Amino acid sequence: MITPSSASPSVAHVARAPEPNDPLAGMSQMHIWREALWQDLEGVETTQELAVLLRLAANVDHAGRGCSISYAQLARETRMDIRTAKRVVDKLQDRWLYKVKCGGRHIPHVGNENLYYVLTPPRAVDHLREMKLEAHRKALTEVASRHRARKAKNSTKSEVAERGGSKSHVYASDNQYSNSRESTPGSASAEWRNGIDPNYGRDLPDEEAA
């Protein structure tokens, strides 16, 4: 993060980079600043203050440094008077921005512009970090839940396959019952039920049958 140096009020430096396991690792300082601003807006109470921050942020590099602009230009581009622009900058100073007075480019016959850096309040950074950690925890929980559901489903399929299918044993039982009825003399025909062999005499010569 860009923070004012304790050694000199006119110098800004980049704070220590996030740890590798930090959810903010890999994000540029401006990426962190923008997300933290929209998530927290700590101390930003008016649209004029937000307009000034967004205007300054549009001209800094990826590390939040180097916006050179005069009060007159800042007021004109944010559609406010110079007095209001100065008041807004003073309010946001050392919270969301850092101003180096007359530290910007030189304008002939006018003087040097102010140089601005954007800052991210530590509390806003912590809030953003916690939000990203919570989102990561929720994502892991959902993945674990889907994995358990898939594992349970596959286990059920394996048990069904070991039994030969979910309904195959029912079909086999029906077939066995049908075969047993066909092989039982008492259920083959009415002749069996009457004690008469339906095949009696069918294989004998005609004269013997007579």
Ordered structural domains, the chain, with CATH: 2-129 (1.10.10), 170-196 (no CATH)
CB 129 within 8 A of CB 137: no
49: phi then psi, degrees, rounded to nearest 5: -65, -40
Token pair for 107: 């304008």
Closest among 127, 129, 114 to 66, alpha carbons compared: 114
pLDDT at 163: 66
The per-residue pLDDT string of the chain (210 residues; one tens digit each, 9 = 90 and over) reads: 444 443 333 333 344 455 667 888 888 888 889 888 888 777 788 999 999 999 999 988 888 888 999 999 999 999 999 999 999 999 999 889 999 998 888 988 888 999 999 998 888 888 888 888 888 778 878 887 787 778 777 777 676 666 665 555 555 555 555 555 555 554 455 555 555 555 555 555 555 444
Closest among 79, 115, 69, 118 to 96, alpha carbons compared: 118
pTM for the structure as a whole = 0.55
Q: Torsion-angle region of residue 189: left (phi > 0), alpha (psi -120 to 50) or beta?
A: beta
pLDDT at 96: 92
Closest among 100, 127, 166 to 39, alpha carbons compared: 127
pLDDT at 183: 53
pLDDT at 87: 95
